[in-house]
Amino acid sequence: MKIDIASHRWPLNEPFEIARGVEFDVELVEVTLTDSQGRVGRGEAAGVDYDGETGESMMVQLEAARPALSDSLTFDDVQSLLPKGGARNALDCALWDLASKRAGRAVADLAGLPPLKPLVTAFTIGLGSLAQTAERARRVQDFPLIKIKLDATRHIDRVKCVRDAAPQAELIVDANQAWDRALLENLLPRLEVEGVTLIEQPLETGRDADLAGLESPIPVGADESLTDMASFAAIAPFYQAINIKLDKCGGLTEALRLASAARAAGMEIMVGNMLGTSLGMAPAFLVAQQARWADLDGPLLLAGDRLHAMQFHLGIVQSPPPALWGEAE
């Protein structure tokens, strides 16, 4: 098995601010697997920046795995070779793509999923001034689902601003760990009035138990607190939803397991992203077929995209083209 590993920076359309800081571009690692028959599979990862992952660190991990790669590589092998995170995500998704080419079947079929259908995806509005928020909301006022980034001081005014600009849209909010329970309880009734349907990661990772006994009219979802299956049982009692990201959990294989566990626990599912091109969104699109919310807007935040990109129109994203990922040649 031959593996090619590459890293490139992709500029964003505009600076993207969340509670942790501001991003101007994203470094993406691409893995290309070629088997002895010349069949090719590709995968992409952005990594988990708040866990210290970088393009360089992911490439180091992948290089270390190179000697263990062969035509007999399995998904279980990938799980053993690399820890959760971006490097394993890129390798795992490349192997799924390659498996599709080998079997002459779509990845959705290999994973036991029904035929893919278009999805509503959130469009994310980052932090900024109220004027910037209003302008960004006006651009996407006809989108059915809008996600709003908030922090400890910029919150309900931003939500009201977006609601005024997009009265028909479903709204979800993401505090990226910036709140405490007192602020969450203070904001809950006002967020309910504005029609917010999900609150992502309001509290700091490790403070999940502070949510115990919270009576929230809006589902609260775990994002940073939920990585892979190893973290699921500990956080599940405190949340009504989880945000599955392939970069966090380490690929499509683990993401499908998380989705199954969430359904069994009666939890809602969101499938999100750490930014990326259509190549990174394509495997997440499969998991999002089972989700209450999809947040696959990474390509919309970039200044460019891959050849054979996924098609987005007014908040609806179509299935990945066969030439991109996950379909037999």
| Catalytic residue numbers, as ranges | 149, 245
Cα–Cα dist 246/175, whole Å: 20
Contacts of 276 (CB under 8 A, 6+ apart): 26, 28, 44, 45, 46, 298, 299
The CA-to-CA distance between both ends of the chain, in Å, stands at 19
Q: Give the sign of the dihedral formed by CA 231, CA 237, CA 238, CA 242.
A: positive
- Count CA within 13 A, CB hemisphere, residue 38: 1
Contacts of 132 (CB under 8 A, 6+ apart): none
The β-bridge relationship of strands 2-18 and 170-174 is: unpaired
Q: Are 95 and 41 in contact (CB under 8 A)?
A: yes
CA distance readout (Å), 167 to 160, 200, 225: 10, 21, 31
